[in-house]
Structure 1
Amino acid sequence: MTVTTLLLPVVLAASACTGPDGPTAQDAADDLAAGLASGDLGGVVLVTDTGADPQTHLTEVTEPLRAAAERAGRAPTVAVSQVTVDEDAEPRTAEVSLAWSWPLTAQDAWEYSTTTSLEQVEPPDGSDAGPSWEVRWEPELVAPDLRAGERLDVDTVAPDRGDVLDVHDEPLVTERDVWRIGIDKTFGTADTWDAQARRLAMVVGLDLDDYAARVEAAGDKAFVEAITIRQKNPGVNFTAEDARSLDGVNVVADTLELAPTSTFAREVLGRSGPATAEIIEASDGAVATGDVVGLSGLQAAYDEALRGAPGLVVQRVPSEQDADAGEEPTELFRVEPVDGADIATSFDPELQERAEKVLADVEPASAIVAIRPSTGDVLAAASGPGSEGWSTATLGQYAPGSTFKVVDALALLRSGTTPQDTVQCPETLTVDGRTYENVPGYPSSATGKVPLATAFAHSCNTAFIGAMADVDPQDVASAAADLGLVPGPDTGVASFGGDVPTDLDGKTARAEAAIGQGTVLASPLGMATVAASVAAGERVEPRLVREVVGGAPDAAAAPSASPSGSPSASAEAEAEDTTPQGTPAGLTAKEAATLLDLMSGVVSEGSASALADVPGVVGAKTGTAQYGDGSRQHVWMLAVADDLAVAVFVEDGEYGSTTAGPLMGRFLAGS
């Protein structure tokens, strides 16, 4: 017996032209490989012992694989790896080995080999054509050990979503146990559903009519969720057992990605949940129905890193008859998922919860930001309930009032003025027809000719307006930048620091800027950064995200998108273009020490004397900024205590000393 073996490179070859003896076995094998790769067997002569149509079988079996390859942006290949012809057989036969490659992800392909046989067929009598080759079709030609009635399936293997960590690298946002509570319509009948829904709505605090309508509209076997509560510290006035005792109610155990409490830094951390249709459409196939994604805040900005990279598994699914007999699917190929990265933040749970507790009863928008000067870590960034979901702490833009005098003081020091130099502090000062006054109750003993340190301690508006009149606005902006007060601090999340304009038109504009009003803007984060820079002796770069830990190698380690409500990309780019760069030398340790001495005087003899008995406090500054028609005030207080710099802000209050001051005292005292 003569056997001819043709070894070919593993590439997809085109069919060769046929000669007078007809196509070769190689030609037939090439046509088969091309048809299998394209999914079109129209040019291949096939014979089969099964009742299934080969084209239909190929299409149905490989459809999940082709869909995965399309998502991966790559095409499958089938190559002829070997053709062995039996020259002595009557008729001649050949064995063909095929090398398959299904690219199922951008990096991973399922590769395997199958074999089939060819048989040479003589032309009909009287035909001038040469002999041809027929391909024997069997299910295992498509995939190893595939049997009639079986199919292939491609399933996604979900990764574990990454956690959001606190400053101690302990989980902040992580999978926590919850109860899903709702009406299970299989527990009742059509004539009981309405009453059951209304009783549950009354217990959990929903609108009775709305929830009853939702239950009515759902299918007869639906579970209609009313509320989801935490299993630990649910924060509601009923228990899961209370709900479970009601007729028609089902209480289902589940898990959700949650922060320690429902309010914990939610304006910054945001939330996660099932992907919306809009997110799925915009993801270009990366997100599917049912996936958990970040919906707002940090969790949305870092969603690509948090969600990781899904894996997949290819299975051979038994026929319906075999499945009924108990046969399980067989795994043929697997790509392991890459779990999501952890996002290490700077939040200190104790300080964040303390700040939220202090602000819990403050009705106007409010914020407390606490920074560790030695590292720049933002340990707390709390926005009160009056902020209504907006991150006043990190995105608020308000006139900083007299807290801005810390910046003024640095500019004055650089102009040659010392804390001991005398400045004029009249009771009133008129600039271009507008009269400026000091805060009501300003001590008369601190008026007239006083040292700059005294004017700073008692926050003399008229003294700073007069002293700053000859200071170049660019020097003020540079001083602000050296203290870290810039429009877009690189905190790791969308943030606003401050805006100190240099194009001040007229003496009135300069006067207002000198007392932190007019067009000067700052956030609580920005002013806390100013205090932190003073405490650190150098410019502090605040950070809310410390690092991205682990995750898929190609996942974005930086925010992928601004969370809802944050500055637009164009606005951020504009802010970067106009950000003051500060002076070449930056804030020096000597300058910072002088500023801290000035802030110390505010505590020992000035407007923050209420903090004198708070342990660890070494400096402070109060601020009040009129807004609107001038009858209402934004109120501020800055303080430095040990390795902590804090800003307290209330959108609508009396004075910095009387409204913000007590809140600062409670926060620093830990009450």
Structure 2
Amino acid sequence: MRVFRGMAALAVALPLLAACGGAKDPGPSMSSLTTALKTATFTKVDFVDETDPATVADEYRDLTGNLFGKLGAPAVSATKPTFTGEGTDNAKSTLTWAWGLPGGRWTYESEVELQKTGDTWEFVWEPTVVAPLLAEGRSLHVETVPQQRGEIVNTAGTTLVADRPVVTVGIDKTLLDPVAAPAAARDVAKIVGIDPKRYAKRVKAAGDKAFVEALSIRKPMMTKAKRKKISRIKGAAMLDRTLPLGPTKEFASPVIGIVGEVTAERMKKKPGTYLPGDMVGLSGLQARYDDQLRGKPGLQVSVLGDEGEVLKRLYNSDPIDGKPLTVTIDGRLQKNAEKILKRVEPESALVAIRPSDGAVLVAANGKDNKMNLATYGQAAPGSTFKTATTLALLRKGLNPTSQVKCPAKAKVDGKTFKNDSWYPKLALGKITLAHAVAESCNTAMVGTADEIGHAEIASAAASLGFGIDRDAGFTSYFGQIPEPAGKTEHAADLIGQGKVLASPLVMATVIASIQAGKTVVPNLVEGQVAKPSGVEPLAADEAKQLKTIFRKVVTDGTGHGLADVPGKPVIAKTGTAEFDRKGKRLTHTWMIAAQGDLAVAVYVDEGENGAATSGPLVEAFLRMARER
């Protein structure tokens, strides 16, 4: 129950000024009142009639409603008190209040009266000290007016990500004894498929009046059976709402990112920008372009009556809707790629690029990927990197029909290199460069280590879009080929091992550059194209020879599985890269290919080899891409 004493005094001992009339100036201790109002703590303030300071604190919390929880503590300043009436025993001061709002402040003034009792001044406590229109039973209340978050659309004008209906499942701690909340949380977690222990810990740590979200489920996926199970759990709640989502659960998820309630960490990094409960981008493009997509919520501060009715609006700002973000993703191709990767058990990724303009049409990750491998994965590219080595050899004067040596073994600085176990014996000895690339002869490439320096291989790679670090406007990794530690490492670099690292994005860029006959610059977000500088351009005759060589990979080599793909000729290169994990020697598998105005790279974290593991995935994608 609120208790307001119309003239109850908030007694604050003021230092006496040395003068005949006793306490003349009440100003020096005004800071004790403003400090109490800022902190909502009155334990150091004396009250007349020995009123309990905790009572005043409770009254103050009631008067300010949810403002402290939403807006934080106010800034409060006071004018120097002026005497009122005929004598010098009464005074008043004007308080200026400033509550922080996203991007601004809400300010207003109120008055406080002071009375002198004996040699001290006391503050008169009334609801109007907090705001002029307040009275017993009234309170201040701030409410967010939601804005419309900007959609993510593609260049064809198709909406990819928009508000879609979901059911948010969680524990409402006002509906049950807090002691029973963790057990209820574990039951809910088991139904929705999240970690019960972690969720129970979150629920236990939350306030007694909190709603703690477990999971938001797309409405069509919320079955009647699941609803029934959740409804039987005391404290469980299901809220109908909307969230910005793609057409499917998997749709470019790690790349586009997710939207959720603003975190304490984000609020700390950008103070004064958000209110608790604001929806913001938490990852991917949603986070990168949050300022554009989010817009700005509206705010209303009102005086509420004792039954919660709005008596008067004190502050109002209209919401500002977010602006759409245009990306190059092709919705149909993206879904096709994700459908293909669903049947792959290890982590995997598929990236497709349009060679003519570098548009990223697909950035798909496998079903269980824990990170965005498609555009930011980092793994040895294996023999797909022979694209760069081949270009370096062409720049040394070789051509597709030039003879190169392909021995069974090649030794560099004491290190023995071999071909893969399935390499055909008939392709050993002196063979053409095109044949060596088609069959993926490691020893032929390693054997050129003395002819091609690091700078030359790095330059050739850059001409194909590899190793050019830049801000592309989205989370991206463009590969690395650092200075080798010695001859052995340099030789390993030539076959995509050593310290060479690549992402599916950059390997799709490499084959796209060969197909386009120019250095392709991949772009995903409209208006965000960072063209590299200082890169030797891919010459027309170089591109022509590269296309001849990598066409032979399909007609006569490791990429023969793509030979019967209908449509324009396909160029390709397979890749297998060895690595050690938990004491086991395993292989990453790659295939890159291009057909017409479509280039694709497929990566599988663990597999047999590029042709057997990644090849069928590329074939399936190219065939599906033709379907309309």
Structure 2-normalised TM-score? 0.72
SS at 2:424 equivalent: coil
Q: Which runs of 5+ in 2 are unaligned?
A: 1-26, 38-55, 81-85, 87-93, 112-124
Matched AA of 1:173: V
Q: Which of 500, 512, 521 pairs up with 1:541?
A: 521
1:310 aligned onto 2:297:
yes
Q: Which of 223, 232, 252 pairs up with 1:248?
A: 232
Matched AA of 2:511: A
Matched AA of 2:242: T
Distance in 1 between residues matched to 2:620 and 2:336, nearest whole Å: 9
Q: For residue 566 of structure 1, what is the aligned residue in structure 2?
A: none
Distance in 1 between residues matched to 2:504 and 2:302, nearest whole Å: 56
Q: Which of 513, 533, 538 pairs up with 2:493?
A: 513
- Shift of the 392–195 alpha-carbon distance from structure 1 to 2, 3 Å rule, reads closer
1:492 aligned onto 2:473:
yes
Q: For residue 610 of structure 2, what is the aligned residue in structure 1?
A: 656
Q: For residue 8 of structure 1, what is the aligned residue in structure 2?
A: none
CA contact (8 A) 2:76 2:98 kept: yes
- Measure how far apart 1:477 and its partner are: 0.6
Percent sequence identity is: 42
Q: For residue 633 of structure 1, what is the aligned residue in structure 2?
A: 587
- Measure how far apart 1:214 and its partner are: 10
CA contact (8 A) 1:184 1:248 kept: no
| CA deviations over 1:480-507 (Å, ceiling 9, x no partner) | 112111263433223222111233412x
CA contact (8 A) 1:203 1:243 kept: no
Matched AA of 1:526: V
Distance in 1 between residues matched to 2:472 and 2:218, nearest whole Å: 30
Aligned length: 573
Q: Which of 537, 541, 552 pairs up with 1:590?
A: 541
- Measure how far apart 1:389 and its partner are: 1.1
Matched AA of 1:608: G
- Measure how far apart 1:358 and its partner are: 1.4
| CA deviations over 1:313-361 (Å, ceiling 9, x no partner) | 233444x3xx5xx963222432223233433333222222221221222
SS at 2:329 equivalent: coil
- Measure how far apart 1:111 and its partner are: 8.0
CA contact (8 A) 1:139 1:147 kept: yes
- Measure how far apart 1:301 and its partner are: 3.5
1:460 aligned onto 2:441:
yes
Q: For residue 11 of structure 1, what is the aligned residue in structure 2?
A: none
Distance in 2 between residues matched to 1:104 and 1:193, nearest whole Å: 34
1:275 aligned onto 2:262:
yes
- Measure how far apart 1:408 and its partner are: 1.0
Mapping of residues 227-626 of structure 1, within 5 Å: 228-232=216-220, 234=221, 239-240=223-224, 243-244=227-228, 248=232, 252-318=239-305, 320=306, 323=307, 328-385=310-367, 388-433=369-414, 434-437=416-419, 440-442=422-424, 444=426, 446-486=427-467, 488-506=469-487, 508-546=488-526, 585-614=536-565, 615-626=567-578
- Measure how far apart 1:217 and its partner are: 12
Q: Whose radius of gyration is greater, 1 or 2?
A: 1
Q: For residue 20 of structure 1, what is the aligned residue in structure 2?
A: none
CA contact (8 A) 1:65 1:104 kept: no
Matched AA of 1:525: L
Distance in 2 between residues matched to 1:153 and 1:197, nearest whole Å: 30
- Shift of the 212–38 alpha-carbon distance from structure 1 to 2, 3 Å rule, reads closer
Distance in 2 between residues matched to 1:495 and 1:656, nearest whole Å: 23
- Shift of the 297–211 alpha-carbon distance from structure 1 to 2, 3 Å rule, reads closer
SS at 1:534 equivalent: helix
Distance in 1 between residues matched to 2:371 and 2:366, nearest whole Å: 9
Measured on the aligned residues, the alpha-carbon RMSD in Å equals 5.5
- Shift of the 533–230 alpha-carbon distance from structure 1 to 2, 3 Å rule, reads same
Distance in 2 between residues matched to 1:664 and 1:273, nearest whole Å: 35
SS at 1:470 equivalent: coil
- Shift of the 154–289 alpha-carbon distance from structure 1 to 2, 3 Å rule, reads closer
SS at 1:260 equivalent: coil
- Measure how far apart 1:303 and its partner are: 3.6
| CA deviations over 1:531-571 (Å, ceiling 9, x no partner) | 112222222222233359xxxxxxxxx9xxxxxxxxxxxxx
SS at 2:436 equivalent: helix
Distance in 2 between residues matched to 1:186 and 1:78, nearest whole Å: 39
Q: For residue 668 of structure 1, what is the aligned residue in structure 2?
A: 622
- Measure how far apart 1:463 and its partner are: 2.0
CA contact (8 A) 1:622 1:637 kept: yes
CA contact (8 A) 2:167 2:219 kept: yes
- Shift of the 357–422 alpha-carbon distance from structure 1 to 2, 3 Å rule, reads same
Distance in 1 between residues matched to 2:182 and 2:63, nearest whole Å: 48
| CA deviations over 1:387-410 (Å, ceiling 9, x no partner) | 641222222222211111110121
- Measure how far apart 1:209 and its partner are: 10
Matched AA of 2:558: S
